[in-house]
Amino acid sequence: MNVPVRAPLDGVSVAPATLGGIVGEWLESPGRPPKASLLYLHGGGYIACSPRTHRAVTTAFAHAGYGTFAPDYRLAPEHPFPAALEDALAAYRALLDRTRPRPLFVAGDSAGGGLSLALLLAARERGWPLPTAVALFSPLTDLVVTGDSIRQNAARCAMFVPQVLERVAQLYLGRRDPYDPLASPLYGDLRGLPPLLIHVGRDETLLDDSVRLAQRVRAAAGTVELEIWPAVPHAWQLFHPWIPEGRRSLAAAATFFDTYLHGS
């Protein structure tokens, strides 16, 4: 991994890095070795954003002691499904090889949350070791766009209305099947996944993407913690410098990871 030295950002060093041929950012807290590594997959509907737009989240994990790699994965419509997943897999495999046998964690928000879950299914298909635990913030898990909350919360959600979600799915998928579990992991085989933490807002159109995911993981005898937060916007963790709910959510995710650091 190529990590040139850069000046700290809010007490965290941020450097360009390349893992598995995928460029991105490596963040860690200077002066102390990371207690574990984290792969963070940013949101943006598979069509927007980058590691830079999500530094508020990745710096928080670095402050918590997690060396964090945020890949700049390819975006649709120029690079439709499965390009983002291929890039996430390449970064994950390289980070896995670099960190074993130490714990490795995965987290993501919105589309990055759905991509994190798809990564688990694809890694399992390949026979790769799965991460120690995973945190998902308002994950987009159903590109068929069938959740009841998509319409029930359309007037309350500050981010998405049904037409936007349908357009995002169209741009990402092209002519691919929206029921493909690697695009819509809600429809995948959810057995044998690592422990999941899911945070979602009560008023989000994507609420049911999280609720149904938790139900199906539990039905598959998996371990999942679902927390539904009142009065927060979509992916509110991005706004933690300004809202306490964002700070509490990120602190809870770091504590969740800490629980599994030593094989608990």
Domain locations in the chain? 8-259
Question: Catalytic one among 13, 29, 110, 149?
Answer: 110
Which CATH number applies to 8-259? Answer: 3.40.50.1820
Q: Which two tokens stand for residue 4?
A: 């040139």
What is the overall mean pLDDT for the chain? 92
- What residues pair up with 16 in beta bridges, in sequence order? 25
Residue 152 or 182, more confident: 182
Extended beta strands in the chain, E state: 8-9, 12-19, 22-28, 36-41, 66-71, 104-109, 133-137, 196-201, 224-229
pLDDT the model gives residue 90: 99
* pLDDT value at residue 73: 99
Whether 110 is catalytic: yes
Active site residue 37: no
Distance of CA 167 to the CA centre of its chain: 21
pLDDT at 234 over 70: yes
Say if residues 44 and 110 touch (Cβ distance below 8 Å): yes
Predicted pLDDT at 212: 98
Indicate which residue of 204, 240, 245, 249 is catalytic: 204
Spatial distance between the Cα atoms of 34 and 47, rounded to a whole number of angstroms: 31
Residue 162 has what pLDDT? 66
Per-residue pLDDT reduced to its tens digit, 187-210: 999 999 999 999 999 998 899 999
Please say if the pLDDT value at position 243 is more than 80: yes
Q: How far apart are CA 60 and CA 252, in angstroms?
A: 12
pLDDT tier, 30 (very low <50, low <70, confident <90, very high otherwise): confident
Q: Verify whether residue 116 is a known catalytic residue.
A: no
Q: What are phi and psi of 200, to 5 degrees?
A: -150, 155
| From 234, 240, 245, 249, active-site residue | 234
Q: What is the pLDDT of residues 132-151, one digit of tens each?
A: 999 999 999 999 999 888 67
